[in-house]
Amino acid sequence: CNVVVNYCHGAEPAEQTAALYRAEGVQAVTVQADVSTAEGCKALFDAAAEAFGRVDVLVNNAGFGKCGDFFTSNRASQMGMVDVNCRSLTRMTLLCLPFLRAGSRIVNLASASAFCPQPYFSVYAATKSYVLSFSRSLGEELRKKGIVVTAVCPGPVDTEFFNFSGK
C-alpha cells in the first residue's frame, strides 16, 4: 500500500500524517494541490500516478463548511463549498476511476448533516447530501466491478473545521 497525502495550505500536518505511514513501512508522499480547481485535481492525480503508477484506494476528504444566513453570507464562500465538497470529489473520482479495479475502494467524507436540513448551514448540508447520494449511486454502479464505495458520515469531530466554519 502506498499513500499520497494532499494539502492545500500548511505542509506540516500532511508531513506528520505521511511520517506516521512511513513509520509503519508504507511509502508515503505529500502533494500540495488546490483541489477546488480542475487544475489542482489534475496536478494531484498526476503526482500520485508519477509516484506510484496506480490507485487502489481514493479517499475524498477535502471539504469545508461556513455558517451563516444564506441570503446575506459571502457568495464566494458558498460557491467555494460547492466547488470543494462536490465538484472536486467528483473530479478526483473521474480521474482515478480508470485505475481502480476489483478490490479497490472509494471513501467519500460526507457528514451527519447529509441527513437533515441545517438552517444557517444550508449549503454545507446540501453538499454533504450530494456526497452521500453520489456515493450510494456510484457504489451500485461499481458493485459489479468489485469496487466498493463508502460514504462516511461523522457527526461533529474536534478538528480545525470549527475554527474556519464560524460555528
Please identify every residue annotated as catalytic. Answer: 124
What is the CB neighbour count within 10 angstroms for residue 159? Answer: 9
C-alpha distances out from residue 86 to 20, 69, 93, Å: 29, 21, 11
- DSSP string over 18-79: HHHHHHTT-EEEEEE--TTSHHHHHHHHHHHHHHHS--SEEEE-------S-TTTS-HHHHH
